[in-house]
Chains A and B, each alone.
Chain A
Amino acid sequence: MSVTSTARLYGEPVIELPLDLYIPPDALEVFLEAFEGPLDLLLYLIRKENLDILDIPMAPLTRQYLEYVEIMRSKNLELAADYLVMAAMLIEIKSRLLLPKPPAAEPLEDDPRAELVRRLLEYEQMKKAAQALDALPQTGRDVIAISVWIEKTLSERLPDVHPPDLAEAWRGLLHRARLSRHHHISREELSVREHMSAILRALRERRVLEFGELFQPEKGVAVLVVTFLALLELARELLVEITQSECFAPIYVKLRHEQPV
Protein backbone atom coordinates (compact mmCIF):
# COMPACT_ATOMS: atom_id res chain seq x y z
CA MET A 1 0.00 0.00 0.00
CA SER A 2 2.47 2.65 1.13
CA VAL A 3 4.70 2.59 -1.90
CA THR A 4 6.81 5.63 -1.24
CA SER A 5 7.36 5.25 2.44
CA THR A 6 10.60 7.14 2.36
CA ALA A 7 9.98 9.29 5.37
CA ARG A 8 12.55 9.07 8.12
CA LEU A 9 11.75 8.59 11.72
CA TYR A 10 13.81 11.28 13.41
CA GLY A 11 15.08 13.07 10.35
CA GLU A 12 13.57 15.34 7.77
CA PRO A 13 10.81 13.87 5.68
CA VAL A 14 12.09 13.02 2.26
CA ILE A 15 8.86 13.76 0.43
CA GLU A 16 7.56 17.26 0.55
CA LEU A 17 3.82 17.38 0.79
CA PRO A 18 2.62 18.45 -2.63
CA LEU A 19 0.59 21.58 -2.92
CA ASP A 20 -2.32 19.98 -4.71
CA LEU A 21 -3.83 19.29 -1.36
CA TYR A 22 -4.42 22.97 -0.88
CA ILE A 23 -8.10 23.72 -0.83
CA PRO A 24 -9.41 27.24 -1.21
CA PRO A 25 -11.00 28.42 2.03
CA ASP A 26 -14.42 28.72 0.38
CA ALA A 27 -14.45 25.04 -0.41
CA LEU A 28 -13.01 24.01 2.90
CA GLU A 29 -16.32 23.72 4.68
CA VAL A 30 -17.65 21.34 2.08
CA PHE A 31 -14.34 19.54 2.10
CA LEU A 32 -14.35 19.06 5.85
CA GLU A 33 -17.92 17.88 5.93
CA ALA A 34 -16.73 14.93 3.92
CA PHE A 35 -14.69 13.84 6.94
CA GLU A 36 -16.01 11.97 9.90
CA GLY A 37 -13.64 13.62 12.32
CA PRO A 38 -9.97 14.24 12.98
CA LEU A 39 -8.94 10.61 12.58
CA ASP A 40 -10.61 10.52 9.21
CA LEU A 41 -8.87 13.71 8.13
CA LEU A 42 -5.50 12.43 9.33
CA LEU A 43 -6.00 9.17 7.49
CA TYR A 44 -6.82 11.10 4.37
CA LEU A 45 -3.69 13.20 4.67
CA ILE A 46 -1.55 10.13 5.30
CA ARG A 47 -3.01 7.98 2.53
CA LYS A 48 -3.15 10.83 0.06
CA GLU A 49 0.52 11.55 0.53
CA ASN A 50 1.43 7.89 0.59
CA LEU A 51 2.95 8.43 3.98
CA ASP A 52 3.82 5.32 5.88
CA ILE A 53 1.23 5.10 8.59
CA LEU A 54 3.67 3.15 10.74
CA ASP A 55 6.33 5.79 10.36
CA ILE A 56 4.43 9.03 10.20
CA PRO A 57 6.49 12.16 9.61
CA MET A 58 4.97 14.16 12.41
CA ALA A 59 6.24 17.61 11.47
CA PRO A 60 4.63 18.02 8.05
CA LEU A 61 1.51 16.12 9.07
CA THR A 62 1.01 18.29 12.13
CA ARG A 63 1.70 21.44 10.18
CA GLN A 64 -0.81 20.58 7.49
CA TYR A 65 -3.37 19.41 10.00
CA LEU A 66 -3.06 22.62 12.00
CA GLU A 67 -3.61 24.70 8.91
CA TYR A 68 -6.99 23.08 8.46
CA VAL A 69 -7.89 23.44 12.10
CA GLU A 70 -6.95 27.11 12.02
CA ILE A 71 -9.35 27.80 9.17
CA MET A 72 -11.98 25.66 10.81
CA ARG A 73 -11.79 27.61 14.02
CA SER A 74 -12.99 30.66 12.21
CA LYS A 75 -15.77 28.71 10.53
CA ASN A 76 -17.28 26.17 12.82
CA LEU A 77 -16.29 26.14 16.43
CA GLU A 78 -18.30 23.11 17.43
CA LEU A 79 -16.81 21.02 14.71
CA ALA A 80 -13.38 22.22 15.57
CA ALA A 81 -13.50 20.96 19.16
CA ASP A 82 -12.82 17.33 18.29
CA TYR A 83 -10.21 18.48 15.86
CA LEU A 84 -8.50 20.64 18.46
CA VAL A 85 -8.07 17.68 20.78
CA MET A 86 -6.32 15.86 17.99
CA ALA A 87 -4.18 18.92 17.24
CA ALA A 88 -3.04 18.94 20.84
CA MET A 89 -2.21 15.26 20.63
CA LEU A 90 -0.21 15.74 17.43
CA ILE A 91 1.77 18.59 18.94
CA GLU A 92 2.42 16.56 22.05
CA ILE A 93 3.71 13.63 20.02
CA LYS A 94 5.87 15.91 17.96
CA SER A 95 7.37 17.57 21.02
CA ARG A 96 8.07 14.22 22.62
CA LEU A 97 9.85 13.13 19.45
CA LEU A 98 12.02 16.23 19.64
CA LEU A 99 13.09 15.63 23.20
CA PRO A 100 16.43 13.90 23.53
CA LYS A 101 16.20 10.36 24.76
CA PRO A 102 18.40 8.56 27.17
CA PRO A 103 20.69 6.38 25.07
CA ALA A 104 19.69 3.24 26.86
CA ALA A 105 16.01 3.62 26.06
CA GLU A 106 14.53 1.29 23.51
CA PRO A 107 13.39 3.72 20.84
CA LEU A 108 10.71 1.56 19.30
CA GLU A 109 9.08 0.71 22.56
CA ASP A 110 8.87 4.34 23.43
CA ASP A 111 7.60 5.66 20.14
CA PRO A 112 5.06 8.28 21.15
CA ARG A 113 3.31 7.76 17.86
CA ALA A 114 2.34 4.20 18.69
CA GLU A 115 -1.01 5.07 20.25
CA LEU A 116 -1.90 7.37 17.38
CA VAL A 117 -0.97 4.69 14.88
CA ARG A 118 -3.05 2.14 16.75
CA ARG A 119 -6.07 4.44 16.75
CA LEU A 120 -5.62 5.33 13.10
CA LEU A 121 -5.38 1.70 12.08
CA GLU A 122 -8.32 0.70 14.19
CA TYR A 123 -10.42 3.53 12.81
CA GLU A 124 -9.41 2.74 9.27
CA GLN A 125 -10.38 -0.87 9.81
CA MET A 126 -13.83 0.14 11.03
CA LYS A 127 -14.21 2.69 8.27
CA LYS A 128 -13.61 0.01 5.69
CA ALA A 129 -15.89 -2.37 7.55
CA ALA A 130 -18.61 0.27 7.37
CA GLN A 131 -18.14 0.52 3.63
CA ALA A 132 -18.32 -3.25 3.33
CA LEU A 133 -21.51 -3.31 5.41
CA ASP A 134 -23.00 -0.59 3.28
CA ALA A 135 -22.24 -2.64 0.19
CA LEU A 136 -24.34 -5.54 1.45
CA PRO A 137 -27.81 -5.66 -0.06
CA GLN A 138 -30.15 -4.10 2.47
CA THR A 139 -33.76 -5.10 2.86
CA GLY A 140 -35.91 -2.17 1.88
CA ARG A 141 -33.05 -0.41 0.12
CA ASP A 142 -31.66 -3.00 -2.28
CA VAL A 143 -34.07 -5.89 -2.01
CA ILE A 144 -37.73 -6.11 -1.14
CA ALA A 145 -39.14 -8.84 1.04
CA ILE A 146 -41.89 -10.50 -0.96
CA SER A 147 -45.32 -11.29 0.24
CA VAL A 148 -48.11 -12.12 -2.14
CA TRP A 149 -51.53 -10.69 -1.55
CA ILE A 150 -53.78 -12.96 0.46
CA GLU A 151 -57.55 -12.68 0.56
CA LYS A 152 -57.53 -11.76 4.21
CA THR A 153 -61.15 -10.60 4.33
CA LEU A 154 -62.32 -14.13 3.66
CA SER A 155 -60.01 -15.81 6.05
CA GLU A 156 -60.36 -13.27 8.83
CA ARG A 157 -61.72 -14.87 11.96
CA LEU A 158 -64.64 -12.87 13.27
CA PRO A 159 -65.81 -13.36 16.84
CA ASP A 160 -68.58 -15.91 17.37
CA VAL A 161 -71.96 -14.74 18.68
CA HIS A 162 -74.43 -17.10 20.36
CA PRO A 163 -78.04 -16.42 21.32
CA PRO A 164 -77.29 -16.45 25.06
CA ASP A 165 -74.80 -13.62 24.46
CA LEU A 166 -77.56 -11.56 22.94
CA ALA A 167 -79.89 -12.33 25.83
CA GLU A 168 -77.19 -11.34 28.27
CA ALA A 169 -76.58 -8.08 26.43
CA TRP A 170 -80.29 -7.28 26.52
CA ARG A 171 -80.47 -8.02 30.22
CA GLY A 172 -77.57 -5.68 30.77
CA LEU A 173 -79.33 -2.94 28.86
CA LEU A 174 -82.50 -3.38 30.89
CA HIS A 175 -80.58 -3.33 34.10
CA ARG A 176 -78.83 -0.13 33.21
CA ALA A 177 -82.09 1.44 32.12
CA ARG A 178 -83.68 0.50 35.43
CA LEU A 179 -80.79 2.01 37.36
CA SER A 180 -80.87 5.25 35.49
CA ARG A 181 -84.64 5.45 35.80
CA HIS A 182 -84.37 4.94 39.51
CA HIS A 183 -81.66 7.55 39.72
CA HIS A 184 -83.69 9.96 37.66
CA ILE A 185 -86.75 9.62 39.85
CA SER A 186 -84.83 9.85 43.08
CA ARG A 187 -83.44 13.15 41.95
CA GLU A 188 -86.97 14.41 41.79
CA GLU A 189 -88.05 12.89 45.05
CA LEU A 190 -84.97 13.63 47.05
CA SER A 191 -83.85 16.90 45.74
CA VAL A 192 -81.04 18.45 47.67
CA ARG A 193 -82.74 21.79 47.61
CA GLU A 194 -85.78 20.28 49.24
CA HIS A 195 -83.76 18.89 52.08
CA MET A 196 -81.88 22.12 52.46
CA SER A 197 -85.19 23.77 53.10
CA ALA A 198 -86.16 21.05 55.54
CA ILE A 199 -83.00 21.55 57.54
CA LEU A 200 -83.44 25.29 57.58
CA ARG A 201 -87.00 24.83 58.71
CA ALA A 202 -85.94 22.56 61.54
CA LEU A 203 -83.25 25.01 62.60
CA ARG A 204 -85.70 27.85 62.58
CA GLU A 205 -87.67 26.04 65.21
CA ARG A 206 -84.84 24.75 67.35
CA ARG A 207 -81.93 27.13 66.69
CA VAL A 208 -79.29 24.50 67.28
CA LEU A 209 -79.48 20.90 66.32
CA GLU A 210 -77.14 18.05 66.99
CA PHE A 211 -75.76 16.59 63.79
CA GLY A 212 -77.47 13.24 64.27
CA GLU A 213 -80.85 14.81 64.75
CA LEU A 214 -80.87 16.07 61.18
CA PHE A 215 -80.96 12.58 59.75
CA GLN A 216 -83.79 10.14 59.53
CA PRO A 217 -82.23 6.70 59.03
CA GLU A 218 -85.58 5.02 58.73
CA LYS A 219 -86.11 6.71 55.34
CA GLY A 220 -83.21 4.84 53.76
CA VAL A 221 -79.69 5.42 52.59
CA ALA A 222 -80.67 7.63 49.69
CA VAL A 223 -82.35 10.12 51.98
CA LEU A 224 -79.36 10.08 54.30
CA VAL A 225 -77.06 10.91 51.44
CA VAL A 226 -79.22 13.69 50.13
CA THR A 227 -79.60 15.15 53.61
CA PHE A 228 -75.87 15.13 54.03
CA LEU A 229 -75.39 16.79 50.63
CA ALA A 230 -77.98 19.35 51.58
CA LEU A 231 -76.12 20.11 54.78
CA LEU A 232 -72.84 20.52 52.91
CA GLU A 233 -74.54 22.78 50.42
CA LEU A 234 -75.97 24.90 53.23
CA ALA A 235 -72.54 25.24 54.76
CA ARG A 236 -71.07 26.16 51.39
CA GLU A 237 -73.65 28.86 50.94
CA LEU A 238 -72.84 30.14 54.43
CA LEU A 239 -76.37 29.56 55.66
CA VAL A 240 -75.47 27.24 58.52
CA GLU A 241 -72.52 26.85 60.79
CA ILE A 242 -71.24 23.43 61.70
CA THR A 243 -69.15 23.28 64.84
CA GLN A 244 -67.38 20.67 66.89
CA SER A 245 -65.41 21.55 69.99
CA GLU A 246 -63.03 18.64 69.83
CA CYS A 247 -62.54 15.29 68.18
CA PHE A 248 -65.47 12.92 68.60
CA ALA A 249 -67.40 15.59 70.45
CA PRO A 250 -70.98 16.14 69.27
CA ILE A 251 -71.30 18.17 66.09
CA TYR A 252 -73.72 21.02 66.22
CA VAL A 253 -75.48 22.73 63.39
CA LYS A 254 -76.94 26.14 63.79
CA LEU A 255 -78.17 28.94 61.64
CA ARG A 256 -75.45 31.28 60.69
CA HIS A 257 -77.47 34.45 60.74
CA GLU A 258 -80.54 35.48 62.51
CA GLN A 259 -83.14 35.27 59.87
CA PRO A 260 -86.16 37.51 59.98
CA VAL A 261 -89.14 35.31 60.37
Chain B
Amino acid sequence: MNSPFEAKRILEAALLASPEPVGLTELKRLFDDEVDSDHIRGLLAELKEEWSGRAVELVSVASGWRFQTRVEFQGFIERLQQDKPARYSRAVMETLAIIAYRQPVTRGDIENIRGVSVSGSIIQALEGRGWIEVIAYRETPGRPALYATTRKFLDDLGLRSLEELPPLEEIAKTIQVEPVAPPQTQEATGTDG
Protein backbone atom coordinates (compact mmCIF):
# COMPACT_ATOMS: atom_id res chain seq x y z
CA MET B 1 0.00 0.00 0.00
CA ASN B 2 1.19 3.47 -0.85
CA SER B 3 1.92 5.94 1.87
CA PRO B 4 -0.33 9.02 1.86
CA PHE B 5 2.59 11.04 0.57
CA GLU B 6 3.02 8.75 -2.39
CA ALA B 7 -0.70 8.62 -3.06
CA LYS B 8 -0.81 12.39 -3.31
CA ARG B 9 2.10 12.42 -5.74
CA ILE B 10 0.45 9.72 -7.82
CA LEU B 11 -2.72 11.82 -8.02
CA GLU B 12 -0.63 14.82 -8.97
CA ALA B 13 1.14 12.94 -11.76
CA ALA B 14 -2.08 11.49 -13.13
CA LEU B 15 -3.78 14.89 -13.17
CA LEU B 16 -0.81 16.64 -14.71
CA ALA B 17 -0.64 14.03 -17.43
CA SER B 18 -4.25 14.51 -18.50
CA PRO B 19 -5.54 17.54 -20.41
CA GLU B 20 -9.09 16.38 -19.71
CA PRO B 21 -10.63 16.49 -16.24
CA VAL B 22 -10.17 13.23 -14.35
CA GLY B 23 -13.12 12.01 -12.33
CA LEU B 24 -13.06 10.51 -8.88
CA THR B 25 -13.88 7.02 -10.16
CA GLU B 26 -10.89 7.11 -12.48
CA LEU B 27 -8.64 8.50 -9.77
CA LYS B 28 -9.62 5.61 -7.51
CA ARG B 29 -8.48 3.19 -10.18
CA LEU B 30 -4.98 4.58 -9.69
CA PHE B 31 -5.01 2.76 -6.36
CA ASP B 32 -6.91 -0.34 -7.47
CA ASP B 33 -9.97 1.08 -5.71
CA GLU B 34 -8.33 0.50 -2.36
CA VAL B 35 -8.52 4.15 -1.34
CA ASP B 36 -11.95 5.54 -0.57
CA SER B 37 -13.41 8.64 -2.20
CA ASP B 38 -13.28 10.81 0.90
CA HIS B 39 -9.59 10.13 1.31
CA ILE B 40 -8.92 11.04 -2.30
CA ARG B 41 -10.96 14.21 -1.93
CA GLY B 42 -8.84 15.10 1.08
CA LEU B 43 -5.64 14.54 -0.84
CA LEU B 44 -6.95 16.61 -3.75
CA ALA B 45 -7.72 19.46 -1.37
CA GLU B 46 -4.15 19.27 -0.01
CA LEU B 47 -2.81 19.21 -3.54
CA LYS B 48 -4.87 22.25 -4.45
CA GLU B 49 -3.47 24.02 -1.41
CA GLU B 50 0.10 23.07 -2.32
CA TRP B 51 -0.31 24.54 -5.81
CA SER B 52 -1.81 27.81 -4.61
CA GLY B 53 0.46 30.68 -5.48
CA ARG B 54 1.75 28.93 -8.59
CA ALA B 55 0.89 29.84 -12.19
CA VAL B 56 -1.08 26.64 -12.45
CA GLU B 57 -4.01 25.70 -10.25
CA LEU B 58 -5.97 22.56 -9.54
CA VAL B 59 -9.68 23.08 -10.16
CA SER B 60 -12.77 20.95 -9.84
CA VAL B 61 -15.22 20.96 -12.75
CA ALA B 62 -18.20 18.85 -13.78
CA SER B 63 -16.19 15.89 -15.07
CA GLY B 64 -13.61 15.89 -12.30
CA TRP B 65 -10.35 17.59 -11.49
CA ARG B 66 -7.80 19.19 -13.77
CA PHE B 67 -4.81 21.45 -13.70
CA GLN B 68 -5.12 24.70 -15.63
CA THR B 69 -3.26 27.95 -16.02
CA ARG B 70 -4.47 30.81 -13.91
CA VAL B 71 -6.66 33.35 -15.66
CA GLU B 72 -4.32 36.24 -14.97
CA PHE B 73 -1.57 34.78 -17.14
CA GLN B 74 -3.66 34.34 -20.26
CA GLY B 75 -2.70 37.76 -21.59
CA PHE B 76 0.97 36.81 -21.49
CA ILE B 77 0.46 33.37 -22.97
CA GLU B 78 -1.45 34.88 -25.86
CA ARG B 79 1.58 36.95 -26.80
CA LEU B 80 3.28 33.73 -27.81
CA GLN B 81 0.33 32.41 -29.77
CA GLN B 82 -0.18 33.09 -33.45
CA ASP B 83 -3.89 33.73 -33.32
CA LYS B 84 -5.74 34.74 -30.24
CA PRO B 85 -8.79 32.73 -29.28
CA ALA B 86 -11.85 34.35 -30.80
CA ARG B 87 -14.72 35.60 -28.68
CA TYR B 88 -18.21 34.44 -29.44
CA SER B 89 -20.60 37.04 -30.78
CA ARG B 90 -23.39 38.39 -28.62
CA ALA B 91 -25.87 36.37 -30.68
CA VAL B 92 -24.01 33.16 -29.83
CA MET B 93 -23.67 34.04 -26.16
CA GLU B 94 -27.33 35.00 -25.80
CA THR B 95 -28.38 31.77 -27.46
CA LEU B 96 -26.08 29.86 -25.15
CA ALA B 97 -27.44 31.69 -22.12
CA ILE B 98 -31.03 30.87 -23.04
CA ILE B 99 -30.16 27.20 -23.54
CA ALA B 100 -28.19 27.10 -20.31
CA TYR B 101 -30.82 28.79 -18.14
CA ARG B 102 -34.02 27.66 -19.83
CA GLN B 103 -33.09 24.17 -21.02
CA PRO B 104 -34.43 22.16 -22.60
CA VAL B 105 -35.53 24.66 -25.25
CA THR B 106 -36.36 24.57 -28.94
CA ARG B 107 -35.02 26.96 -31.49
CA GLY B 108 -38.46 28.59 -31.47
CA ASP B 109 -38.21 29.20 -27.72
CA ILE B 110 -34.86 30.90 -28.24
CA GLU B 111 -36.25 33.04 -31.03
CA ASN B 112 -39.21 34.07 -28.89
CA ILE B 113 -36.95 35.34 -26.16
CA ARG B 114 -34.41 37.02 -28.44
CA GLY B 115 -37.01 38.47 -30.80
CA VAL B 116 -34.90 37.55 -33.84
CA SER B 117 -34.41 34.39 -35.83
CA VAL B 118 -31.62 32.11 -34.69
CA SER B 119 -29.35 31.23 -37.58
CA GLY B 120 -28.20 27.68 -38.09
CA SER B 121 -24.60 28.79 -37.84
CA ILE B 122 -25.14 29.85 -34.23
CA ILE B 123 -26.47 26.43 -33.28
CA GLN B 124 -23.71 24.77 -35.27
CA ALA B 125 -21.04 26.82 -33.55
CA LEU B 126 -22.30 25.73 -30.14
CA GLU B 127 -22.81 22.12 -31.19
CA GLY B 128 -19.41 22.05 -32.82
CA ARG B 129 -17.87 23.22 -29.58
CA GLY B 130 -19.63 20.37 -27.83
CA TRP B 131 -21.44 22.76 -25.52
CA ILE B 132 -25.01 21.98 -26.53
CA GLU B 133 -26.76 18.89 -27.84
CA VAL B 134 -30.18 17.72 -28.89
CA ILE B 135 -31.60 15.68 -26.05
CA ALA B 136 -35.14 15.08 -27.30
CA TYR B 137 -37.83 16.31 -29.63
CA ARG B 138 -40.91 18.20 -28.50
CA GLU B 139 -44.09 16.38 -29.42
CA THR B 140 -45.61 19.30 -31.26
CA PRO B 141 -46.06 19.76 -35.00
CA GLY B 142 -42.68 19.63 -36.63
CA ARG B 143 -41.18 17.81 -33.65
CA PRO B 144 -38.63 20.55 -32.96
CA ALA B 145 -35.36 19.51 -31.36
CA LEU B 146 -34.88 20.30 -27.69
CA TYR B 147 -31.43 21.61 -26.84
CA ALA B 148 -29.57 21.33 -23.57
CA THR B 149 -26.05 22.12 -22.43
CA THR B 150 -23.47 19.38 -22.10
CA ARG B 151 -21.00 18.38 -19.43
CA LYS B 152 -18.23 19.77 -21.62
CA PHE B 153 -19.94 23.15 -21.42
CA LEU B 154 -19.66 23.00 -17.63
CA ASP B 155 -16.08 21.76 -17.82
CA ASP B 156 -15.01 24.49 -20.20
CA LEU B 157 -16.58 27.21 -18.08
CA GLY B 158 -15.07 25.82 -14.91
CA LEU B 159 -18.41 24.85 -13.41
CA ARG B 160 -19.32 21.72 -11.48
CA SER B 161 -23.04 21.91 -12.12
CA LEU B 162 -25.67 24.17 -13.64
CA GLU B 163 -26.37 25.46 -10.16
CA GLU B 164 -23.04 27.23 -10.31
CA LEU B 165 -24.13 29.35 -13.27
CA PRO B 166 -24.13 33.06 -12.45
CA PRO B 167 -27.50 33.76 -10.81
CA LEU B 168 -30.11 35.39 -13.00
CA GLU B 169 -30.94 38.95 -12.22
CA GLU B 170 -34.31 38.98 -10.55
CA ILE B 171 -37.02 40.49 -12.65
CA ALA B 172 -39.04 41.11 -9.49
CA LYS B 173 -36.50 43.63 -8.25
CA THR B 174 -37.37 45.96 -11.09
CA ILE B 175 -41.02 45.58 -10.32
CA GLN B 176 -40.63 46.49 -6.67
CA VAL B 177 -39.18 49.89 -7.60
CA GLU B 178 -42.50 50.78 -9.08
CA PRO B 179 -44.63 52.59 -6.47
CA VAL B 180 -47.91 52.05 -8.25
CA ALA B 181 -48.90 48.42 -8.29
CA PRO B 182 -47.51 47.47 -11.66
CA PRO B 183 -49.13 45.26 -14.23
CA GLN B 184 -49.50 41.70 -13.20
CA THR B 185 -46.31 40.94 -15.11
CA GLN B 186 -47.50 37.39 -15.22
CA GLU B 187 -43.84 36.48 -14.79
CA ALA B 188 -43.50 33.98 -12.03
CA THR B 189 -39.73 34.34 -12.03
CA GLY B 190 -38.73 35.28 -8.55
CA THR B 191 -41.63 37.00 -6.95
CA ASP B 192 -39.80 37.15 -3.66
CA GLY B 193 -41.35 40.51 -2.73
A interface residues (Cβ-Cβ under 8 A, vs B) = 1-2, 5, 36-40, 52-55, 82, 86, 108-109, 111, 113-114, 117-119, 121-123, 125-148, 150
Q: A108-B182, A147-B19 are in contact. List 4 more A-B contacts (CB 8 A).
A: A108-B181, A129-B100, A144-B68, A145-B68
Asked if A130 and B97 make an inter-chain contact with CB atoms under 8 angstroms apart, the answer reads yes
The yes or no answer to B174 lying at the interface (CB within 8 A) is yes
Query: Which residues from chain A contact B1 at a C-beta distance below 8 Å?
Result: none
Asked if B182 and A54 make an inter-chain contact with CB atoms under 8 angstroms apart, the answer reads yes
Asked if B183 and A139 make an inter-chain contact with CB atoms under 8 angstroms apart, the answer reads no
A207 to chain B, nearest CB (A): 71
| Bound Cα distance A144, B155 (Å) | 12
Asked if A114 and B115 make an inter-chain contact with CB atoms under 8 angstroms apart, the answer reads no
Chain B residue with Cβ nearest A38: B115
Query: Which residues from chain A contact B87 at a C-beta distance below 8 Å?
Result: 134, 141
Asked if B115 and A134 make an inter-chain contact with CB atoms under 8 angstroms apart, the answer reads no
Asked if A54 and B98 make an inter-chain contact with CB atoms under 8 angstroms apart, the answer reads no
Interface centre among A1, A119, A141 (most CB of B within 10 A): A141
Chain A residue with Cβ nearest B69: A144
| Bound Cα distance A127, B169 (Å) | 10
Asked if B93 and A113 make an inter-chain contact with CB atoms under 8 angstroms apart, the answer reads no
Chain B residue with Cβ nearest A79: B116
Given contacts A126-B113, A147-B17, is CB(A133)–CB(B97) below 8 Å? yes
B189 to chain A, nearest CB (A): 8
B13 to chain A, nearest CB (A): 8
Asked if A143 and B115 make an inter-chain contact with CB atoms under 8 angstroms apart, the answer reads no
B95-109 CB contact bits vs A (8 Å, 1 = yes)? 011101110000000
The yes or no answer to B39 lying at the interface (CB within 8 A) is no
B85 to chain A, nearest CB (A): 4
Query: Which residues from chain B contact A132 at a C-beta distance below 8 Å?
Result: 97, 166
Asked if A139 and B116 make an inter-chain contact with CB atoms under 8 angstroms apart, the answer reads no
Asked if A146 and B155 make an inter-chain contact with CB atoms under 8 angstroms apart, the answer reads no
A88 to chain B, nearest CB (A): 13
Query: When the two chains form the complex, which single residue of B20, B88, B168 contacts A145, counting CB atoms closer than 8 Å?
Result: B20
Query: When the two chains form the complex, which single residue of B113, B156, B178, B183 contacts A123, counting CB atoms closer than 8 Å?
Result: B113
| Bound Cα distance A125, B97 (Å) | 10
Binds A, one of B25-33, B70-78, B137-145: B70-78
Asked if A39 and B187 make an inter-chain contact with CB atoms under 8 angstroms apart, the answer reads no
Query: Which residues from chain B contact A137 at a C-beta distance below 8 Å?
Result: 71, 157-158
Asked if A140 and B85 make an inter-chain contact with CB atoms under 8 angstroms apart, the answer reads yes
Q: List 7 A-B contacts (CB under 8 A).
A: A37-B115, A113-B183, A133-B166, A136-B166, A137-B158, A139-B158, A145-B19
Asked if B171 and A125 make an inter-chain contact with CB atoms under 8 angstroms apart, the answer reads yes
Query: Which residues from chain A contact B94 at a C-beta distance below 8 Å?
Result: 36, 126-127, 130
The yes or no answer to B43 lying at the interface (CB within 8 A) is no
Asked if A136 and B157 make an inter-chain contact with CB atoms under 8 angstroms apart, the answer reads yes
Query: Which residues from chain B contact A139 at a C-beta distance below 8 Å?
Result: 68, 155-158
Given contacts A54-B178, A136-B166, A143-B68, is CB(A148)–CB(B116) below 8 Å? no
Asked if B174 and A53 make an inter-chain contact with CB atoms under 8 angstroms apart, the answer reads yes
Asked if B93 and A133 make an inter-chain contact with CB atoms under 8 angstroms apart, the answer reads yes
Asked if B67 and A146 make an inter-chain contact with CB atoms under 8 angstroms apart, the answer reads yes
Asked if B168 and A55 make an inter-chain contact with CB atoms under 8 angstroms apart, the answer reads no
Asked if A148 and B187 make an inter-chain contact with CB atoms under 8 angstroms apart, the answer reads no
Asked if B74 and A142 make an inter-chain contact with CB atoms under 8 angstroms apart, the answer reads yes
Asked if A143 and B19 make an inter-chain contact with CB atoms under 8 angstroms apart, the answer reads no
Chain A residue with Cβ nearest B85: A141
The yes or no answer to B135 lying at the interface (CB within 8 A) is no
Query: Which residues from chain A contact B67 at a C-beta distance below 8 Å?
Result: 145-147
| Bound Cα distance A258, B87 (Å) | 85
